[in-house]
């Protein structure tokens, strides 16, 4: 008979027999999976047979998340990562080599821009930034750079530029390039870039896919061969997603449609109201008929999304006063959650950019970005009014 410590270990690690299908994907909170013999372990590790051996390589819960998002996006395969940036990093590295140049949208998330101009530049990968709405400029950049990749965001962070995915896919493929799309701001409910010709689509699953601000995760979807090319980067660079985080994102997916409908309805109502406020110089929201991206948005998006941005006439001081006066919205740098979140991009999400880079990206000093949550829109409008009153007072004090 085995001794106590041995029995304790064996008893606590013995898997229960389950003959029924669970109503939720189980959390396989295990670093490793035991095999029947050495041959099976070798076959699983080399991919000769399906299975699991080590969660840095693969895990059932995280695999389920990748498959689920691929299904929602209309893609053949998906792979989950520890964060959205890990997903973007792997997607780019799987398609670009040292000495090559990426063509990327000028309006891009600040950390993505930092990845391109600092991290990847150090590996000998250059980036040329273009306006994605200028197809002639995009084509010229692809030809000039001989770029293997065109990188865009469906709806850009933070100025909500809407990229015409079908047109950009055609432009990229005509020049022998792949189209990589960050679909975080839209979500698969609003837009499915794979269906419009994109080759790889990335998500910060931390945002709308999860929806509850309690998990960090990223996902890449696309054709099976292209997604398989990401796996060595995931495994060797250590970007594995924790099973609990995968479970939390999976929990959020069934309500994605309901949440996106509510986010979008409230965002459109707030954007329409903000247009009429005297100290708001400009509102960025693709659902507004006067927005530069409205025509593309109507053609491409099933809903206009929960993200909006607006410029205050008083600049940074007015923006700071607006944020500090709010009582419902959270002041933080994330998005896509049930709570409304407001932020000042020049000092948070795009803090890496200097004044020239901010101006080139169309980010004004007084720009505020808002992720509209699921609260009652009347309460949000009252909260925004508090912010605008404070912003007017700050602008008046500055003028004096």
Catalytic positions are 56, 109, 182, 207
Instruction: Give the H or E element holding residue 81.
Output: strand 77-81
Beta bridge partner(s), residue 219:
80, 203
The closest of 190, 165, 195 to 179, measured between CA atoms, is: 165
Instruction: Supply the DSSP string of 8-61, one letter for each residue.
Output: HHHHHTPPPP--S--SS------SB---SSHHHHHHHHHTSS---SBTTT--HH
Question: Looking at the DSSP assignment, which residues form a beta bridge with residue 39?
Answer: none
390 contacts 321 by C-beta, under 8 angstroms: yes
Residues 221 and 201: beta-carbon distance below 8 Å = yes
Cα(339)–Cα(330) distance, integer angstroms: 7
The number of residues in the chain equals 400
Cα distance between the two ends of the chain: 87
| Torsion sign, CA atoms 251, 335, 90, 148 | positive
Q: Is 132 helix (H, G, I), strand (E, B) or coil?
A: coil
**What interhelical angle do 256-274 and 377-399 show, nearest 10?**
40
Helices 135-145 + 165-174 axis angle, to 10: 30
**Selection from 88, 276, 266, 94 nearest residue 184 by Cα:** 88
Residue 58 near residue 242, CB atoms below 8 Å:
no
Buried/exposed 55-74: b ≥16 CB within 10 Å, e otherwise:
bebbbbbbbbbbbbbbebbe
Write the DSSP symbol of residue 119: I
CB 155 within 8 A of CB 309: no
Nearest residue to 47 (alpha-carbon basis) of 243, 235, 245, 238 = 235
């Amino acid at each position: 008979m085995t001794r106590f410590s041995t029995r304790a270990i064996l008893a606590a690690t013995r898997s229960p027999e389950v003959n029924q299908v669970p109503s939720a994907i189980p959390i396989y909170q295990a670093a490793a999976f035991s095999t029947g013999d050495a041959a099976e372990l070798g076959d699983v590790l080399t991919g000769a047979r399906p299975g699991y051996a080590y969660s840095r390589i693969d895990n059932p819960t995280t695999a389920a998340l990748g498959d689920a998002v691929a299904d929602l996006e209309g893609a053949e395969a998906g792979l989950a990562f520890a964060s959205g940036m890990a997903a973007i990093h792997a997607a780019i590295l799987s398609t670009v080599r040292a000495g090559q140049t990426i063509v990327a949208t000028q309006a891009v998330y600040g950390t993505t821009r930092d990845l391109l101009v600092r991290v990847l530049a150090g590996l000998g990968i250059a980036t040329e930034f273009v306006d994605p709405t200028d197809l002639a400029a995009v084509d010229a950049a692809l030809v000039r750079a001989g770029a293997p990749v065109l990188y865009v965001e469906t709806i850009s962070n933070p100025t909500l530029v809407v990229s015409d995915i079908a047109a950009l896919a055609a432009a990229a493929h005509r020049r022998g390039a792949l189209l990589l799309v960050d679909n975080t701001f839209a979500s698969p409910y609003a837009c499915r870039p794979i269906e419009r010709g994109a080759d790889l689509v990335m998500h910060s699953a931390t945002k709308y896919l999860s929806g509850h601000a309690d998990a960090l995760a990223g996902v890449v979807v696309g054709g099976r061969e292209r997604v398989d090319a990401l796996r060595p980067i995931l495994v060797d660079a250590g970007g594995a997603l924790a099973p609990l985080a995968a479970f939390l994102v999976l929990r959020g997916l069934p309500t994605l449609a309901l949440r996106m409908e509510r986010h979008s309805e409230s965002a459109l109502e707030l954007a329409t109201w903000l247009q009429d406020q005297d100290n708001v110089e400009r509102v960025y929201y693709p659902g507004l008929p006067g927005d530069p991206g409205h025509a593309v948005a109507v053609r491409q998006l099933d809903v206009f999304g929960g993200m909006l941005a607006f410029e205050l006439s008083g600049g940074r001081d007015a923006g700071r006063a607006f944020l500090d006066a709010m009582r419902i919205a959270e002041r933080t740098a994330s998005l896509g959650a049930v709570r409304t979140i407001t932020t000042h991009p020049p000092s948070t999400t795009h803090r890496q950019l200097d004044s020239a880079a901010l101006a080139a990206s169309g980010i004004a000093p007084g720009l505020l970005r808002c992720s509209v949550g699921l609260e009652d829109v009347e309460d949000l409008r009252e909260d925004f009014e508090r912010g605008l009153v404070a912003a007017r007072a700050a602008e008046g004090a500055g003028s004096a």
